[in-house]
């Protein structure tokens, strides 16, 4: 069972997560939703002044993306990206199921800012699609919104994969450049925005007198441990220490954490003092990514977690880039051999070399995630390779590498 918690106080202007109320149109209108936008420029300035960053993974400044699409040649397209590929993340599906009008309002506002003539909601979750279609049936009719369904995979939410699927093709990443803001859906400049990002744009508009930074600072995070036990979806202020989040979901005994779904890597001693902050996590060698945190209890083996993560990523490869297929496969095979006690003498050296050389060489971030998992294991748990030599461990023997079961969390 996944719990729902908020560390933002009741009445906070940036609150998305109060549980127990389905967001219908009367309730959303009463909260100030779908307010007119006579001039989009002040809203763009407000998004920039608030310091809002994208919540899809990269944490890129939202105002920069909005301006890039607005200033590109030709009529634009805006896509609400609700396809969260990380098995340990549930926030986007929760928003689409329970706050569809907030997301659709943010989509409307982003379209107004960019001058978009077409908008799309992109998703794979059946319950989310039902909620969105109900909301579309009762909301104001302008602008037109299309709903595009995709299959749930790790790479389906990557922005070029989104564009390909909306255009009727497979949900697979494409080579860059061009980026979607240059040439996206149908060749038009396209903003692919995470649904939480759009929801926070809506909050900035519905709370015009509130401090913008306070509205934008909230983060939806998915918290869990092995097998999804003691999982939680939480809304917390930026800067919250990771130990507070571990305590919040019942993993106060944790000795390590896997950050950002799988993109942020493993962190051992000192992890508890890290803040939920893009820049500080990057400085520590990690990444916030989609905001999913997987805590490792004392009985969990970090090598088993790394082996499972890389095997899952290797299985999820789009198999379009040779370097990704060979790279993720080699990382997964090496860690699987270590976990089984069958590692060669040079395995640690090879893992170190690959984790340094592979990032940036694939069409999407999947290869980077696998390399960071392996590299962070070596950096934060340097004794694990030797400890598993010729033996392995009980946790590794229990693992089911490749299916992602360890990281899966149920949507509350």
Q: What CATH code is carried by the domain that includes residue 268?
A: 3.10.20.600
Q: With bands split at pLDDT 50, 70 and 90, how would you rate the model's confidence at 22?
A: confident
Q: Does 128 share its domain with 254?
A: no
Statement: residue 399 has pLDDT above 90: no
Is residue 312 situated within a structural domain?
Answer: yes
Task: State mean pLDDT over 358-387.
Answer: 92
Domain CATH for 383: 1.20.1440
Q: Does 240 share its domain with 381?
A: no
Among 183, 215, 247, the domain-final residue is 215
Give the domain extent around 284: 217-296
Is residue 412 situated within a structural domain?
Answer: no
Q: How far apart are the first and last CA of the chain?
A: 7
Q: Does 50 share its domain with 193?
A: yes
Neighbours of 228 (CB within 10 A): 20
- Judge whether 304 and 339 are in contact, CB under 8 Å: yes
Q: Does 269 share its domain with 321?
A: no
Query: 275: exposed, middle or buried (C-beta count within 10 Å: 0-12, 13-18, 19+)?
Result: middle
Q: Does 202 share its domain with 313?
A: no
What is the distance, to the nearest Å, from the Cα of residue 316 to the centroid of all Cα atoms in its chain? 16
Q: Does 338 share its domain with 228?
A: no
DSSP string, 46-89: HHHHHT-B-SSSS--BHHHHHHHHHHSSS-EEEEEE-----TT-
Is residue 58 situated within a structural domain?
Answer: yes
Residue-wise pLDDT for 288-316, tens only, equals 989 999 999 998 999 999 999 999 999 99
Is residue 250 situated within a structural domain?
Answer: yes
Q: Does 236 share its domain with 173?
A: no
Residue 382: name the closest of 344, 338, 342 by CA.
338
Q: Does 290 share its domain with 325?
A: no
Q: With bands split at pLDDT 50, 70 and 90, how would you rate the model's confidence at 33?
A: very high
Is residue 176 situated within a structural domain?
Answer: yes
Among 247, 264, 296, the domain-final residue is 296
Give the pLDDT score at 341.
Answer: 85
Q: What is the mean pLDDT of the chain?
A: 92
Is residue 1 situated within a structural domain?
Answer: no
Among 215, 242, 276, the domain-final residue is 215
Q: Does 109 share its domain with 236?
A: no
Domain CATH for 204: 3.40.50.11540
Percent of the chain with pLDDT over 90: 74
| Backbone conformation region of residue 253, classed left if phi is above 0, alpha if psi is from -120 to 50, else beta | alpha
Domain count, the chain: 3
Q: Does 334 share its domain with 383?
A: yes
Among 68-77, 275-284, 306-315, 388-397, the minimum mean pLDDT is found in 388-397
Q: Does 146 share its domain with 190?
A: yes
Is residue 2 situated within a structural domain?
Answer: no
Is residue 202 situated within a structural domain?
Answer: yes
Q: Does 106 share its domain with 252?
A: no
């Amino acid at each position: 069972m996944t719990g729902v918690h908020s560390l933002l106080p009741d009445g906070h202007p940036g609150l998305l997560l109060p549980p127990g109320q389905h967001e219908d149109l009367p309730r959303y209108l009463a909260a100030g939703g779908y307010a007119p936008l006579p001039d989009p420029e002040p809203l763009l300035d407000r998004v920039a002044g608030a310091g809002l960053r994208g919540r899809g993974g990269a944490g890129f400044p939202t105002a920069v993306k909005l301006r890039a699409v607005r200033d590109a040649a030709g009529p634009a397209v805006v896509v609400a990206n609700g396809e969260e590929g990380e098995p340990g993340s549930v926030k986007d599906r929760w928003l689409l199921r329970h706050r569809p009008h907030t997301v659709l309002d943010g989509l409307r506002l982003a379209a107004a800012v960019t001058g978009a003539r077409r908008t799309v909601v992109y998703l794979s979750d059946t319950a989310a699609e039902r909620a969105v279609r109900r909301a579309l049936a009762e909301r104001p009719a302008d602008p037109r919104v299309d709903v595009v369904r995709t299959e749930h995979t790790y790479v389906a939410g990557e922005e070029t994969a989104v564009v390909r699927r909306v255009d009727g093709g497979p949900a697979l990443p494409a080579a860059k450049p061009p980026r979607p803001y240059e040439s996206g859906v149908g060749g038009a400049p396209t903003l692919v925005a995470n649904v939480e990002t759009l929801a926070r744009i809506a909050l900035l508009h519905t709370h015009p007198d509130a401090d913008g930074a306070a509205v934008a600072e909230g983060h939806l995070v998915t918290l869990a441990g092995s097998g999804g036990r003691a999982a939680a979806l939480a809304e917390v202020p930026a800067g919250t220490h990771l130990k507070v989040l571990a305590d919040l979901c019942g993993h106060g005994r944790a000795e390590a954490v896997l950050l950002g779904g799988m993109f942020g890597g493993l962190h051992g001693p000192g992890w508890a003092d890290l803040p939920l902050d893009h820049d500080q996590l990057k400085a520590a060698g990690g990444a916030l990514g989609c905001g999913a945190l997987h805590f490792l209890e004392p009985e969990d083996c970090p090598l088993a977690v790394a082996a499972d993560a890389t095997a899952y990523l290797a299985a999820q490869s789009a198999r379009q880039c040779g370097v990704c297929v060979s790279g993720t496969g080699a990382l997964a095979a090496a860690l699987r051999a270590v976990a089984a006690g069958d590692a060669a003498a040079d395995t640690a050296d090879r893992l170190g070399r690959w984790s340094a050389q592979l990032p940036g060489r694939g069409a999407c971030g999947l290869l980077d995630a696998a390399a960071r998992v392996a590299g962070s294991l070596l950096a934060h748990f340097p004794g694990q390779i030797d400890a598993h030599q010729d033996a392995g461990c009980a946790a590794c023997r229990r693992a089911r590498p490749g299916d992602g079961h360890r990281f899966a969390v149920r949507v509350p």
